[in-house]
Amino acid sequence: MLAWHDLLHLTLLKFLWGGSILGILFGMGMLITPKLILRLNGYFSRWISSRKLETVLDRPRLIERFLYRHHQLVGAAVLLGALVVLYVFLFRYNVRTISFVVPPEYWWLTDALLGMLQIGSVLAALVGGIIMTKPSLLRDIENSVNRWISTDSVLGVFDTANYSIEQHILDHSRFAGVFILIGSGYTLVVLGKFLFRSVA
């Protein structure tokens, strides 16, 4: 019986091998009937703008009023969560289990990550205690760091249709067809060797 990672690897190989067959058919279509490929491309090429979704997500949501109104509950939850994490990594942390997963040359990275989690848990417990008892102490820090940074200008660059590459391929359909046919055929042969060898 195959392990889960072997099954995942085999599924990925089958998926890529099936994609190479589709690539061969697509390349042959661009060589034999490029007009049909153009019509199919026009049918499937539809631009779906994410502007409305970005407008909903790219909006500040203020939680300060809720936090100050229920500061004892929020502070207790943060403090409890930090103490649980700190307890797990101080007393329930199984080094032997981690050593089997992480190679020895990367143990220093595991130790560094563990140290960061412990320090972060102590700081979170401190913040949780302050929020629970006297949240006004954090007001100055909150005012200095609580700034809204809009991502509208950054996401606007990606939310534009760009047909230049697609149009260039369609203008040189014969060359693109040969290139896709060769690449897909090579992928079909190479992946087929690994796939059928693993199945056998």
Three-class SS state of 123: helix
Q: Which residue's structure tokens are 């047909």?
A: 163
Who has greater pLDDT, 33 or 60? Answer: 33
CA distance 33 to 43: 16
Q: Which residue's structure tokens are 């992946």?
A: 191
Asked if residues 66 and 180 have their Cβ atoms less than 8 Å apart, the reply is no
pLDDT digits (tens, 9 = 90+) for 120-179: 999 999 988 888 888 777 777 777 667 776 666 666 666 666 656 666 777 777 888 888
pLDDT digits (tens, 9 = 90+) for 56-108: 666 777 777 777 788 889 889 999 999 998 888 777 766 556 666 667 777 77
CA distance 117 to 82: 10
Does the pLDDT at position 1 exceed 60? no
Asked if residues 154 and 3 have their Cβ atoms less than 8 Å apart, the reply is no
Does the pLDDT at position 43 exceed 90? no
